[in-house]
Amino acid sequence: MRNSCFILLALLSASGSNAFEVSGNFWENGQAIFHIGISGDSPTGGSWNAAFKRSMNAWSEATSFQFIAIDDFVDPCTARGGGLFGDDITGVDFTATVCGTEFSDSVLAVTLTAGTCLNQQCTGGFHITDADIVFNNNENWDVYTGPSHFFVTDFERVALHELGHALGLDHESTNPSIMQGLVSNTDSLQTDDINGANSIYGGATSLQTIYGIEVIVPAASSLSGPNDSINLAGVLSSSDASLDNKFIDLYQYKFENDSRVDIQLDSTAINPFLYLVRVSSAQDTIPAFTFSDDNSGPGTNASISTDIQAGTYWIGVSSAQNNEQGSYALAMSATSSGGGSSFEIIDSSYGPSVEINPNPNIAGTLASSDFVYEGKFLDLYQFDVVNSTTLRVDLGSNNFDTRLLMVDVLPDKVLGSLFFQDDNISLSNSNSRIEQRLLPGTYWIGVTSFDNAETGDYNIDISVVIP
């Protein structure tokens, strides 16, 4: 049994409409497919479809929400009106009425959303499963930029506004934004609009790398399920970093478990070139898990299918020829048995076993079965540094007062100095931090507690400090 509900939004009207406002409704996967087949062209020549797609792309490029265009006509009023809640297929068109109900005075367009309620009373919002947009064909429309004309409305900025409703935004009354309730001279997405969408869907963040290339960390970048799928759209452009005269976009994903991954990189604008590179906590690449492909997909598209170990990976999108620019689509599916990770455990001559784990993020547990060191339990992790790097190691736990150790390991697995340790000096709570420049070599991170015999879960986060 599915609860349905709908709301009428989207009155870009003469009635007036704080920072961004969210409706409380959202697309579960952070993306929406729109079927677009509006007939005809605007008076000044461009097709309505092209203008609508530019509006979709504007949201997709500026925010973590993705609109995906499909070129076919779907009637937005199918299963609308008369108490119906849509057909879960998006449509867009010019119509004389709002699917049977008159447009209110001065209303230019309406977005009708429907979905599955999050609670029985449907007071807590819903997962949007359908969004249909109708533009009032009693109005005069064209496509233009700049100041708004009195008697001819710019279709493209209204489309931007309606798509904001479609992804879950309400009207914004204070900050400059396309989501203001009245059509205005604003013809493009504003910071408030972008922050609004990212507040719902989690904005991508980025990391500085020692290679001088920023890595995009998508909001949903940690993959732990038995089946995960990722769809990204992007553009290689001259503002990107370049590698050997090819532009490159890098995305970071973390696989919680050993996984099978299938990655497909498609483009009609460029000859795609794909990288999958495992990186260590020091951002060194791990050669055994470094892959690249030019043409294994259909046509000149690129594709990589392989088994990988749990860890942090960078997916690189680039081109086969120099300086190619254009849009691309990246699709990845990852499957795992949920069986965790196959990190090697070695016995040390000092007693405790050591997990060889080069990942920047490690989740572990101090347990009573662990090796005991001066009355405290101890876990050890080994990683290598290939290039001299300054690393910041944070150890956090909600269960015990942490103590973090780092030692260098000499070639014959003999400990060098216990040269760094931290209790809770650096941070305001019981967490620990070490920040230190490391020369190439092998190191152990030790996790233990301040008080005797403490147990519980902890997390280690290692990041590279860029000078």
Cβ-based nearer residue to Zn ion, 13 or 281: 13
Shortest separation between residue 148's beta carbon and Zn ion, angstroms: 15
Using the minimum distance from each CB to Zn ion, give the nearer residue, 173 or 327: 173
Smallest gap from Cβ 80 to Zn ion, in A, equals 18
Least distance in angstroms from the C-beta of 376 to Zn ion = 60
The helix-helix angle for 155-167 and 48-62 (nearest 10°) equals: 50
When the beta carbons of 10 and 445 are compared against Zn ion, the nearer one is: 10
Query: Closer CB to Zn ion, residue 169 or residue 276?
Result: 169
Q: What is the β-pairing status of strands 246-255 and 311-319?
A: antiparallel
Q: 159 or 310: whose CB is closer to Zn ion?
A: 159
SS3 of the chain: the string is CCCEEEEECCCCCCCCCCCCEECCCECCCCEEEEECCCCCECCCCCEHHHHHHHHHHHHHHHCCCEEEEECCCCCCCCCEECCEECCCCCCEEEECCECCECCCCCCCEEEEEEEEECCCCCCCCEEEEEEEEEEECCCCEECCCCCCCCCCEEHHHHHHHHHHHHHCEECCCCCCCCCCCCCCCCCCCCHHHHHHHHHHHCCCEEECCCCCCCEEECCCCEECCCEEEEEEEEEECCCCEEECCEEEEEEEEEECCCEEEEEEEECCCCCEEEEEEEECCCCCEEEEEEEEECCCCCCCCEEEEEEECCEEEEEEEEECCCCCCEEEEEEEEEECCCCCCCCCEEECCCCCEEEECCCCEEEEEECCCCEEECCEEEEEEEEEECCCEEEEEEEECCCCCEEEEEEEECCCCCECCCCEEECCCCCCCCCEEEEEEECCEEEEEEEEECCCCCCEEEEEEEEECCC
Least distance (Å) between residue 307 CB and Zn ion: 48
Residue 7 or 464: the one with the smaller Cβ distance to Zn ion is: 7
- Cβ 24 to Zn ion, closest distance in Å? 16
The least distance separating Zn ion from the CB of residue 95, rounded to whole angstroms, comes to 17
| Beta bridge mates, 84 | 81
Smallest distance from the beta carbon of 164 to Zn ion, in angstroms?
A: 8
Size of the site for Zn ion (CB under 5 A): 2
Q: Rounded distance, CA 386 to CA 410, Å?
A: 14
Which residue carries 């970093």 as its tokens? Answer: 241
User: Distance between CA atoms of 159 and 136, rounded to whole angstroms?
Assistant: 12
Quote the least distance from Cβ 170 to Zn ion, whole Å. 8
CB of 4 to Zn ion, least distance (A): 22
| Residue 159 or 265 with smaller CB distance to Zn ion | 159
Shortest separation between residue 177's beta carbon and Zn ion, angstroms: 11
Q: Which residue number places its CB atom closest to Zn ion?
A: 10
Cβ proximity to Zn ion: between 15 and 229 the closer is 15
157 versus 376: smaller Cβ distance to Zn ion: 157
Of 5-24, binders to Zn ion (CB under 5 A) are 10, 12
Task: Give min distance, CB of 361 to Zn ion, in A.
Answer: 41
Between 36 and 183, whose beta carbon lies closer to Zn ion? 183
The pair of structure tokens assigned to 24 is: 């409380």
Rank residues 12 and 265 by Cβ distance to Zn ion and give the closer one: 12
Candidates 2-10, 60-68, 244-252, 433-441; binding stretch for Zn ion (CB under 5 A): 2-10
The reply to whether 265 sits near Zn ion by the rule CB under 5 A is no
Give the type of residue at 405: L
Measure the CA–CA gap between 69 and 57, rounded to whole angstroms.
Answer: 9
Interacting residues with Zn ion (CB under 5 A): 10, 12
